[in-house]
Amino acid sequence: GAVVSQHPSRVICKSGTSVKIECRSLDFQATTMFWYRQFPKKSLMLMATSNEGSKATYEQGVEKDKFLINHASLTLSTLTVTSAHPEDSSFYICSARPHGGGLQTQYFGPGTRLLVL
Amino acid sequence: AQRVTQPEKLLSVFKGAPVELKCNYSYSGSPELFWYVQYSRQRLQLLLRHISRESIKGFTADLNKGETSFHLKKPFAQEEDSAMYYCALMAGRRALTFGSGTRLQVQP
């Protein structure tokens, strides 16, 4: 089946630094990737929709200058948390919709746990 | 705006007992509803979708537009069903809106 990977799986960084998280579709092309954030014991909250070759669409309340998204190819989207602060600590999950696949089809990555000290 | 509500954070049942995980939604149009499951230390994966009207691992879910519900049911729970279950809604071409999730614990 379709596999989505995320790298790194976990990262610890100092406050003020930037962290880049990669989301890759390993065996399919994805024109659309989604970035979610999950707080402990909470649901997944959509942050942004990333479309290959165009600007990401951010959800209300998500700072686009803080959470930079780049979808440069059909198999890779990156989320960069700029000037990270402790409140950015969370579990970040991406999902990918296969090119030519149904709108209902999404495959999820394993997530990246970010801890900002 | 769409919303998905899962009223139970935790549901604990004994093996062999029936299971019903509740999900209610609010959306003005015609939604597409899904159930996702996350087993311990694994990624989120699709369990079933309402348009398929399928039974996966013994689970079924019927969309009730009158009650705006999409409850997940299984007649006889198994220990391997223990996991986190998320109800989700897709409106138009947008991404999924998830409920807060229900942890199912099936005790031996």
Taking the C-alpha atoms of residue A21 and residue A112, their distance in angstroms, rounded to an integer, is 7
Taking the C-alpha atoms of residue B107 and residue A21, their distance in angstroms, rounded to an integer, is 38
Is the pLDDT at A41 greater than 90? The verdict is no
pLDDT at position A103:
67
pLDDT at position B19:
97
pLDDT at position B101:
95
pLDDT averaged over consecutive 10-residue blocks of chain B (108 residues)? 92 97 92 92 90 86 92 97 95 83 96
Question: What residues of chain A lie within 8 A of the CB of B97, using their CB?
Answer: 46
Question: What are the start-end ranges of the E strands in A2-66?
Answer: 4-7, 10-13, 19-25, 30-38, 44-51, 57-58
Answer whether A46's CB lies under 8 Å from A61's CB.
no
| Span B18-30, pLDDT tens digits | 999 999 999 988 8
Q: Which of A18-27, A48-57, B90-99 has the highest mean pLDDT?
A: A18-27
Task: Supply B16's token pair.
Answer: 């062999």
pLDDT at position B38:
93
| Span A71-111, pLDDT tens digits | 888 999 999 999 999 999 999 999 999 887 676 788 999 99
The rounded radius of gyration (Å) of the Cα atoms in chain B is 13
Among A3, A43, A71, pick the best mutation site for testing chain B contact (most B Cβ within 10 A): A43
Q: Which residue of B has its CA nearest to A103?
A: B93
pLDDT at position A1:
67
Answer whether B4's CB lies under 8 Å from B23's CB.
yes
Sign for the pseudo-dihedral over CA of B78, B11, A105, A33: negative
Convert B16-41 to b/e letters by CB count within 10 Å (16 or more is b).
eeebebbbbbebeeebbbbbbbbeee
Chain position carrying tokens 């600590």: A89
Answer whether A48's CB lies under 8 Å from A61's CB.
no
Whether A46 sits inside 8 A of B46 (CB atoms) is no
pLDDT at position A54:
84
Whether B46 sits inside 8 A of A106 (CB atoms) is yes
Answer whether A50's CB lies under 8 Å from A67's CB.
no
Closest partner residue to B100 (CB to CB) among A42, A106, A110 is: A42
Q: What is the mean pLDDT of residues A5-9?
A: 97
Whether B96 sits inside 8 A of A93 (CB atoms) is no
pLDDT at position A6:
97
